[in-house]
């Protein structure tokens, strides 16, 4: 059963997952807050991401960089010059629009990466008008998306809020390389906020002006781009991909890792496509048919990328939507920083004696978009139960279980419920609830994603057993308290 993004947004607000920031003052476009449940879900995603990607190699590490960075960082990275979006303004009501999105909405075709002139021509050719007042639109221009910050009392020093977490690992590269005993490959991961002055923020947290990214920058020897020590383990793994040539048929095609290498993609790159897909299918439990890698063409690729596939999920409320990307950034960034900072970025591979500026493979993920996807794909209205259900995988759900006394006015039942609650919460995320009817409590638990509801009743007092209700089947089982932890461990 599907739902609209508005329905999902209403659900998220009512339950305390996500809602507009500064809401008591009318909100601020493109900014969201996470409530108690949303924060827990987001942390669970971030922990799963860290656990999975940092354990890919013993020389992968997490760092934390500053959110405000020196102007020269973005001169060197190319963001000052190239990090722009096309914008068109209504000649009458002066509302600004992101030109490519406006055109895509009108002609139902991807136009990302076209020049301002080409976009202006499309507006004219298709007679696209201001959606607000139907007046003519002005020629397309570009706008830099970074937020400048004026530092100091007189505001004389200009810096920028980072538009991606990636630049911290790049400017930290040389120091971390020395600190980590000069070993290559080396991975530097960051989980943190990024800021972009989006022209049209929209769709809850999918397009915000402040959002969280989880990115891993792998610095490697460019002469080894066509190898990976674990390649054999994944060579037959079937990847869900939409290459440029598949766009006409609009088909996602299953192609093995080896087939993509035979088509010319570097082994190091394709190995990481496999690793990413496994994360989505096996950890986030995204159904295979809802996942794809989307190959970008030369016009669409980010300005720093040689190879660029987007990671996309088919959201119930939106269709296929970008969640992240696998970016082969080559030596674009380190070279740029070497030029502007005069700090040498060259290193020696101690295993081969080769000297080079490392190349970078970037595994990039939008945390808020992935959290949105977990909510979107696991949320449904259950007609039979008469309430919403959030069937999140157990690893991600804010509460794995809940403990209820059947009645709240019998001391011995309530006392026993507290005893069980204390036992369970030592090992699992758990909440205690004794308000309203048990039916209402079950509904509330379904809505916040709780996998098991444990109810203590009069029988418990006689035989030390409780009922355990499963969120997904609504089936109830009688389990002895002494076997409860084992049951909860074994039935995740
Ligand atoms: N370091 C590479 C980089 O930043 P990107 O494709 O611009 O690449 C990476 O961003 C991911 O960050 C996207 O795939 C998306 O999931 C997320 N993202 C980008 N802009 C966003 C926005 N305005 N709101 C929410 N998430 C965003």
DSSP-assigned states of every residue in 335-382: HHHHHHH-----EE-TTT--EEPPEEEEEEEEHHHHHHHHHHHHEEEE
Which one-letter DSSP state was computed for residue 29? T
Q: Categorize the per-residue pLDDT at 110 as very low, low, confident or very high, splitting at 50, 70 and 90.
A: confident
For the cut 60, the answer to whether the pLDDT of residue 147 exceeds it is yes
Q: Which of 17, 7, 54, 12 is nearest to 37 (CA)?
A: 17
Q: Which of 204, 288, 191, 175 is nearest to 11 (CA)?
A: 204
Q: Is the beta carbon of 471 within 6 A of some atom in ligand 1? A: no
Distance 479 CA to ligand 1 centre (A): 46
Q: Is the beta carbon of 366 within 6 A of some atom in ligand 1? A: yes
Domain 84-144: give its CATH code: 3.30.40.230
Q: Is the beta carbon of 213 within 6 A of some atom in ligand 1? A: yes
Q: Which of 82, 80, 163 is nearest to 115 (CA)?
A: 82
Instruction: Name which residue sits closest to atom 22 of ligand 1, judged by CA.
Output: 207
Distance in angstroms (rounded) separating the CA atoms of residues 12 and 60? 35
Distance in angstroms (rounded) separating the CA atoms of residues 123 and 90? 12
Q: Is the beta carbon of 169 within 6 A of some atom in ligand 1? A: no
Q: Is the beta carbon of 79 within 6 A of some atom in ligand 1? A: no
Q: How do 68-70 and 60-62 pair as beta strands?
A: unpaired
For the cut 90, the answer to whether the pLDDT of residue 152 exceeds it is yes
10 Å CB burial of residue 285 (0-12, 13-18, 19+) is middle
Distance 443 CA to ligand 1 centre (A): 35
Distance 324 CA to ligand 1 centre (A): 7
Q: Is the beta carbon of 212 within 6 A of some atom in ligand 1? A: no
Q: Is the beta carbon of 322 within 6 A of some atom in ligand 1? A: yes
Instruction: Name which residue sits closest to atom 12 of ligand 1, judged by CA.
Output: 366
Distance in angstroms (rounded) separating the CA atoms of residues 364 and 311? 9
Query: Which helix or strand (DSSP H or E) is residue 212 part of?
Result: strand 210-220
Give the per-residue pLDDT at 29: 96
Question: Could you tell which of 210, 364, 365, 374 is best to mutate to test the pocket of ligand 1, judged by most ligand atoms within 8 Å of the CB?
Answer: 364
For the cut 90, the answer to whether the pLDDT of residue 284 exceeds it is yes
Model confidence pLDDT, tens digit, residues 3-44: 999 999 999 999 999 999 999 999 999 999 999 999 999 999
Considering Cα of 406, then 408, then 409, then 414, what sign does the dihedral take?
positive
Distance 332 CA to ligand 1 centre (A): 19
Q: Is the beta carbon of 312 within 6 A of some atom in ligand 1? A: no
Q: Is the beta carbon of 208 within 6 A of some atom in ligand 1? A: yes
E-strand ranges in 106-185 read: 141-144, 148-151, 157-161
Q: Is the beta carbon of 300 within 6 A of some atom in ligand 1? A: no
Atom of ligand 1 nearest to the CA of 198: 23
Q: Is the beta carbon of 164 within 6 A of some atom in ligand 1? A: yes
Q: Categorize the per-residue pLDDT at 375 as very low, low, confident or very high, splitting at 50, 70 and 90.
A: very high
Model confidence pLDDT, tens digit, residues 74-85: 999 999 999 999
Q: Which of 476, 464, 451, 450 is nearest to 416 (CA)?
A: 464
Considering Cα of 218, then 223, then 225, then 229, what sign does the dihedral take?
negative
Model confidence pLDDT, tens digit, residues 188-245: 999 999 999 999 998 999 999 999 999 999 999 999 999 999 999 999 999 999 999 9
The CATH fold of domain 5-81+156-377: BirA Bifunctional Protein; domain 2 (3.30.930)
- Cβ atoms 191, 183 nearer than 8 A: no
Q: CA dihedral defined by 362, 365, 366, 372, rounded to 10 degrees?
A: 170
**Average pLDDT of the chain, as a whole number:** 97
For the cut 60, the answer to whether the pLDDT of residue 1 exceeds it is no
Terminal C-alpha separation, the chain: 24
Q: Is the beta carbon of 162 within 6 A of some atom in ligand 1? A: no
> What tokens were used for 259?
């087939």
Q: Is the beta carbon of 325 within 6 A of some atom in ligand 1? A: yes
Q: Categorize the per-residue pLDDT at 112 as very low, low, confident or very high, splitting at 50, 70 and 90.
A: confident
10 Å CB burial of residue 447 (0-12, 13-18, 19+) is middle
- Cβ atoms 97, 137 nearer than 8 A: yes
Distance 32 CA to ligand 1 centre (A): 16
What contacts 463, CB < 8 A, 6 or more positions away?
480
Instruction: Name which residue sits closest to atom 3 of ligand 1, judged by CA.
Output: 164
Assign domain 399-490 to its CATH superfamily. Anticodon-binding domain (3.40.50.800)
Give the per-residue pLDDT at 253: 97
Q: Is the beta carbon of 166 within 6 A of some atom in ligand 1? A: yes
Backbone φ, ψ for residue 212 (5° rounding): -105, 135
- Cβ atoms 306, 333 nearer than 8 A: no
Give the per-residue pLDDT at 101: 92
> What tokens were used for 201?
């923020």
Distance 55 CA to ligand 1 centre (A): 23
Angle at 251 between CA 247 and CA 257, to 5 degrees: 95
Question: Could you tell which of 310, 366, 376 is best to mutate to test the pocket of ligand 1, judged by most ligand atoms within 8 Å of the CB?
Answer: 366
Residue by residue, DSSP assigns 180-207 as: TTT-SSEEEEEEEEEE---SS-BTTTTB
> What tokens were used for 258?
């080896």
Q: Is the beta carbon of 190 within 6 A of some atom in ligand 1? A: no
Q: Is the beta carbon of 364 within 6 A of some atom in ligand 1? A: yes
Give the per-residue pLDDT at 437: 95
Q: Where are the domains of the chain?
A: 5-81+156-377, 84-144, 399-490
Q: Categorize the per-residue pLDDT at 118 as very low, low, confident or very high, splitting at 50, 70 and 90.
A: very high
Give the per-residue pLDDT at 2: 82
Distance 366 CA to ligand 1 centre (A): 5
Inter-axis angle of helices 411-425 and 481-490, to 10 degrees?
40
Distance 295 CA to ligand 1 centre (A): 16
Considering Cα of 465, then 471, then 476, then 479, what sign does the dihedral take?
negative
Give the per-residue pLDDT at 410: 87
Which one-letter DSSP state was computed for residue 138? P
Question: Could you tell which of 77, 198, 369, 371 is best to mutate to test the pocket of ligand 1, judged by most ligand atoms within 8 Å of the CB?
Answer: 369
Q: Is the beta carbon of 368 within 6 A of some atom in ligand 1? A: yes
Atom of ligand 1 nearest to the CA of 201: 23
What contacts 345, CB < 8 A, 6 or more positions away?
173, 174, 331, 334, 335, 337, 338, 357, 358
What average pLDDT does this structure show over 389-416?
A: 96
């Amino acid at each position: 059963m599907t739902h609209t993004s508005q329905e999902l947004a209403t659900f998220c607000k009512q339950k305390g997952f996500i809602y507009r920031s500064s809401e008591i003052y009318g909100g601020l476009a493109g900014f969201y807050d996470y409530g108690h449940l949303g924060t827990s879900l987001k942390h669970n995603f971030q922990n799963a991401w860290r656990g999975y990607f940092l354990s890919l190699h013993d020389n992968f590490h997490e760092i934390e960089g500053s959110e405000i960075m020196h102007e020269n960082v973005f001169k060197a990275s190319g963001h000052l010059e190239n990090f722009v979006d096309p914008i068109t303004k209504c000649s009458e009501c002066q509302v600004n629009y992101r030109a490519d999105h406006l055109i895509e909405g009108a002609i139902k075709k991807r136009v990302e990466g076209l020049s301002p002139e080409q976009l202006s021509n499309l507006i004219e050719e298709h007679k696209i008008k201001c959606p607000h007042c139907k007046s003519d639109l002005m020629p397309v221009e570009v706008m830099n998306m970074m937020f400048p910050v004026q530092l100091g009392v007189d505001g004389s020093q200009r810096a920028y809020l980072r538009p991606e977490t990636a630049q911290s690992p790049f400017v930290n590269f040389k120091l971390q390389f020395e600190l980590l005993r000069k070993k290559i490959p080396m991975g530097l991961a960051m989980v943190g906020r990024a800021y972009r002055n989006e022209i049209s923020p929209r769709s809850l947290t999918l397009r915000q002006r402040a959002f969280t990214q989880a990115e891993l920058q792998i610095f490697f020897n460019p002469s080894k781009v066509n190898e990976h020590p674990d390649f054999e383990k994944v060579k037959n793994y079937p990847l869900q991909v939409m290459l440029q040539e598949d766009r006409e048929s609009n088909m996602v095609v299953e192609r093995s890792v080896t087939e993509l290498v035979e088509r010319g993609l570097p082994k190091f790159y394709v190995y990481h496509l496999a690793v990413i897909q496994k994360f989505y299918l096996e950890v986030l439990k995204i159904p295979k048919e809802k996942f794809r890698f989307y190959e970008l063409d030369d016009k669409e690729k980010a300005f720093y990328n040689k190879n660029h596939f987007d990671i996309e999920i088919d959201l119930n409320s939106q269709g296929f939507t970008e969640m992240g990307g696998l970016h082969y950034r080559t030596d674009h960034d380190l070279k740029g920083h070497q030029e502007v900072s005069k700090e040498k970025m060259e290193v020696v591979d101690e295993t081969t004696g080769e000297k080079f500026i490392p190349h970078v493979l970037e595994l990039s993920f939008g945390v808020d978009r992935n959290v949105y996807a977990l909510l979107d794909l696991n949320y449904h209205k259950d007609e039979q139960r008469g309430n919403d259900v959030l069937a999140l995988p157990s690893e991600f759900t804010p509460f794995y279980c809940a403990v209820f006394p059947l009645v709240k006015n019998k001391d011995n039942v309530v006392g026993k419920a507290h005893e069980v609650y204390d036992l369970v919460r030592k090992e699992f995320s758990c909440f205690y609830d004794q308000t309203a009817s048990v039916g209402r409590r079950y509904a509330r638990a379904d809505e916040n994603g709780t996998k098991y509801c444990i109810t203590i009743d009069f029988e418990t007092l006689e035989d030390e057993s409780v009922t355990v209700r499963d969120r997904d089947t609504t089936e109830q089982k009688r389990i002895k308290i002494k076997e409860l932890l084992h049951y909860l461990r074994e039935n995740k």
